[in-house]
Amino acid sequence: MEKVWTDYQAENKQRFLDELLELLRIPSVSAKSEHKQDMIKCAEAIKNRLIEAGADNVKLYETAGHPVVYGEKLIDPSLPTVLVYGHYDVQPPEPLELWNSGPFDPVIKDGKIFARGSCDDKGQMYMHVKAFETMMKTNTLKSNIKFCIEGEEEVGSPNLGTFVREQKALLKSDCVLISDSSMISLETPSLEAGLRGLSYIEVEVTGPNRDLHSGVYGGAVANPITILAKMIASLHDENNHISIPGFYDDVQEASKEERAMLAEAPFDEEEYKTDLGVKELWGDKGYSTIERTGIRPTLELNGIWGGYTGEGAKTVLPSKAYAKISARLVPNQKSDKITDLLIRHIEKIAPPYVTVKASLHHGGEPYVTPIDSKAYQAASKAIEETFGKKPIPQRGGGSIPICSLFEQELGTKVVLMGFGLDSDNLHSPNEKFDLANFYKGIETIPYFHKYFAEM
């Protein structure tokens, strides 16, 4: 069976890549309303690729936001069904001036595809489309398969919940397979055994009711930037613990055994620092870097702005200052509860000189995939088959809030078989995806379906 796959993929290698590049040229930025037409164009393109690969009932499902692409191949009701989830939307490309080539003008350099979405998630999502094509064209599909490719992951999937609840029958499946995360390296494959949750809020601090001249009013009226800075500064203590009362209340501390297992992953702190260009690491005292990015909750500033930010100098005392703040959550923290805690805390510490508004952007629950589940085992075997090594189980730092949505609404476990790398510059300028990882993914996915069907 393997040879037919390998042969087919070798013959169609260049076309697989060309088709991906075509998708990457569409600026499907879900956060910006100006890209509404690009979103539809991208969804249509995926619909057409699924039809060409042999899927049935391929259709765009309208939502209150961007459409969901659905397609399926149901070969035998007695066989298990795998629901493949992915997303065709991408993060905004800004800051544009830091890209070495256009974010929507993909370039292949040193064996890597540089473009927004190359890894997150168009490249990884498309591996599934091409793996499906491989199985269809070689007549080797051994499980039922369904595709659910959404367009709002990067803005927190605000409409996926409604879609999933309304389409439970359509999406009925035995596991959900997602490639939207990373592994350590091709030499040291790994598999996500969990992800952090998210609470993302925006804070607006208002001082005076208009921008003022900092000479005329400076010193006599609270500057919202200074106040916002004081508020932000108070959110971490001297040990870099989050100093919001109640924040850690529900954190399920990892067991000694789990921490020992995490410590086994190869990790070179010097290499990590060199790669990031920092002299010293920073983080929650008493925890290792791997623990800080996996099993510990965090509070990060994702953006800040206020006053004059252009070229040159302007002596303004601004009316407003803003920040985007997000917390990563671990089991058993609840996104709603933490969001509420954050908002109430921010409002509480606001001094009387200013008015503060804090509001939710989006959230998602932390998620753990049991390593003894069928889906995890099938993914582990598939990777072992093509990489020659059993993958190391990991706890990822990112968040895919839809994991708990699928579990809750469909009763199915999610397996996160990611083929990206931490160095792929996700959400950053010069996002890339290694060609080797793209092809390795296409090669590995058919084994997942085979092993899952056999379990």
Using CB under 8 A, pick the residue from 27, 103, 194, 318 that binds a copy of itself. Answer: 318
Q: How far is the CB of 397 from a copy of itself (least distance, A)?
A: 5
Residue 145 backbone dihedrals phi, psi, to 5 degrees: -140, 140
Among 53, 55, 323, 415, binds a copy of itself (CB under 8 A): 323
Nearest to 317 by CA among 169, 204, 425, 209: 209
Q: Shortest distance, CB of residue 245 to a copy of itself, whole angstroms?
A: 19
- Dihedral angle computed from the Cα positions of residues 203, 206, 212 and 213, in that order, rounded to the nearest 10 degrees: -50
In the bound state with a copy of itself, the residue whose beta carbon lies nearer, of 296 and 413, is 296
Shorter beta-carbon distance to a copy of itself: residue 21 or 222:
222
Task: Considering the complex, state which of residue 71 and residue 420 has its C-beta at the smaller distance from a copy of itself.
Answer: 420
The verdict on 428 binding a copy of itself (CB under 8 A) reads: yes
Tokens of 368: 């753990």
Judged by beta carbon, residue 123 or residue 396, the one nearer a copy of itself is 396
248 binds a copy of itself (CB under 8 A): no
| Between 77 and 312, CB nearer to a copy of itself | 312
| Positions 54 through 113 that interact with a copy of itself (CB under 8 A) | 91-92, 94-95, 98
CA distances from 305 to 308, 326, 351, 362 (A): 9, 16, 19, 20
- Is 153 among the catalytic positions? yes
Yes or no: say if 131 and 447 are a contact pair by the CB < 8 Å rule.
Answer: no
Question: Cα 135 to chain center, whole Å?
Answer: 27
Window 385 to 404, contacts with a copy of itself (CB under 8 A): 396-399
How buried is residue 352: exposed, middle or buried, by Cβ count under 10 Å (0-12/13-18/19+)? exposed
Q: Which residues are CB-neighbours of 183 under 8 A, at least 6 positions away?
A: 189, 190, 191, 391, 418, 419, 420, 421
Q: Which is nearer to a copy of itself, 87 or 381 (CB)?
A: 87
Q: Which of residues 13-52 bind a copy of itself (CB under 8 A)?
A: 30-33
Total Cβ atoms within 10 A of residue 269: 11
Cβ distance to a copy of itself smaller for residue 381 or 432: 432
> Shortest gap between Cβ of 174 and a copy of itself (angstroms)?
28
Report the chain's terminal Cα–Cα distance, integer Å: 18
Measure the CA dihedral 291/294/298/304, to 10°: 120
Q: How many chain residues bind a copy of itself (CB under 8 A)?
A: 101
Q: Which of these ranges, 47-55, 134-142, 234-242, 249-257, lies near a copy of itself under the rule CB under 8 A?
A: 234-242
CB 196 within 8 A of CB 365: no
Position among 147, 200, 419, 448 found at the interface with a copy of itself (CB under 8 A): 200
Q: Which of 14, 311, 372, 388 binds a copy of itself (CB under 8 A)?
A: 311
Find the shortest distance in angstroms from Cβ 198 to a copy of itself: 7
- Shortest spacing between CB 250 and a copy of itself, in angstroms: 17
Does residue 225 belong to the site contacting a copy of itself (CB under 8 A)? yes
Shortest CB 265 distance to a copy of itself, Å: 14
Q: Does 256 bind a copy of itself (CB under 8 A)?
A: no
- Amino acid identity, residue 155? V
Q: Which of 89, 120, 174, 409 is catalytic?
A: 89
Decide: is 215 part of the binding site for a copy of itself (CB under 8 A).
yes
| CB within 8 Å of 309: residues ≥ 6 apart | none
Token couple for 372: 């003894």
Q: Which of residues 335-364 bind a copy of itself (CB under 8 A)?
A: 351-354, 361-362
| Secondary structure of residue 362 in the 3-state scheme | strand
| 213 contributes a contact to a copy of itself by CB under 8 A | yes
Q: Which of 153, 409, 424, 443 is catalytic?
A: 153
269 is catalytic: no
Omega into 393 within 30° of 0, i.e. cis?
Answer: no
How far is the C-alpha of 80 from the C-alpha of 450, rounded, in Å? 10
Positions marked catalytic: 89, 153
